[in-house]
Structure 1
């Protein structure tokens, strides 16, 4: 099992965190990966997000907020919660830019990650999906589960 702290340690030089310009991140995420994966990109990113969650399991789902910040995925907040569902909003300047310039873009990596973290913590099957409306300058990701469907 991988440990996020060991990754963070390799992401530092002289104790200072290394950063990647948004341009480099966007080249990989929005150009290279879709070119390599083609029309299967959203589905494969969903499964890649689940894989990342298995590599870096959280003790509780609330820690996902910190993971999102460290990964540069944006600010994650719970906007609604019920017995079998939780709705997150995801915001950042990069997300705003991506939505404005590209219009249709995928956040399946983040959705897969959240679904898997809920599965790991709650020990139930969970699935996540993006709000197709992408209201305003944020992304809505909804995670649903059925407590009668344990792992």
Structure 2
């Protein structure tokens, strides 16, 4: 089991026991700036600073005891935000019809980066329409994935306050 998987297996139950959805984590092991970033959510109400502080305290205490990461690192707890990271097939299935950016570990037919509409999910395979072509991408072979909303449309109002 990879280090990131071990950390996730340790932390996800703690986050969920606190009443939050464990969206996923990112770990940057750069020796000069090691960061463990945990994404949490409560789809029905969202996340605020108090939620992040609550989770940070509990997770920090557990990390101090279990020490899955040696040496110093920065712990960040965050909401997924508008450009929500996607870690699992289940998360992709929740956002069918939305735009996403995907970066693969290795090229698929000569291409590593994709931006398109999520068409659906079959097991661990995400179907993405990119410029009129449907791609089938294995979620386990993805390096990074996140929603890619049209921010202009998102923030464009009807002129009313």
Larger Rg: 2
TM, length-normalised to structure 1: 0.35
Q: Report the structure, 1 or 2, having the larger strand content.
A: 2
Which structure carries more helix by proportion?
1
Greater relative contact order: 1 or 2 (C-alpha under 8 angstroms, separation 6 or more)? 1
Instruction: State the TM-score, normalizing by the size of structure 2.
Output: 0.34
